[in-house]
Amino acid sequence: MKTEEELQKIGDEVIEVICEIYDPEIPVNIYALGLIYDVQVSEDCDVKIIMTLTSPNCPVAESLPVEIEEKVKVISDVKKVTVEIVFEPTWTKEMMSEEAKLELGML
């Protein structure tokens, strides 16, 4: 059984990995874009990622969750990875980090 601190460390590692994944249409990582709504790490080290897409018709709707799952599974402590795509709340540009907005010339 992992401690709360160890589970937090795994969650931080998951976020680091997610920050290396970029939206193919926007040159910003999916975490900075605000597409990741939640990262949950269970006591058994199973990871659940709740995310959205910039639009329901996003061209990577099929491949992006698979890419996230494969990359997060590489973390040694992670047992199982589930990526759930939701469309509520709807993604808006306001969900982007200041860094992402700056990079896209929106500030």
Strand partners, 41: 47
Collapsed DSSP state (helix, strand, coil) of residue 76: coil
82-101 pLDDT, tens digit per residue, is 999 999 999 999 999 999 99
Please report whether residue 107 resides in a domain. Answer: no
Type of residue at 23: D
**Interval 62-76: pLDDT, tens:** 999 999 999 999 999
Going by C-beta distance under 8 Å and a sequence separation of 6 or more, which residues neighbour residue 8? 41
Place of tokens 């160890």: 6
What CATH number does residue 74 fall under? 3.30.300.130
Domain count, the chain: 1
What's the predicted TM-score (pTM) here? 0.93
Confidence of residue 56 (pLDDT cuts 50, 70, 90): confident
2 Cβ partners below 8 Å, 6+ apart? Answer: 10, 43, 45, 77
What's the domain range around 75?
4-100
Residue 79 lies in a domain: yes
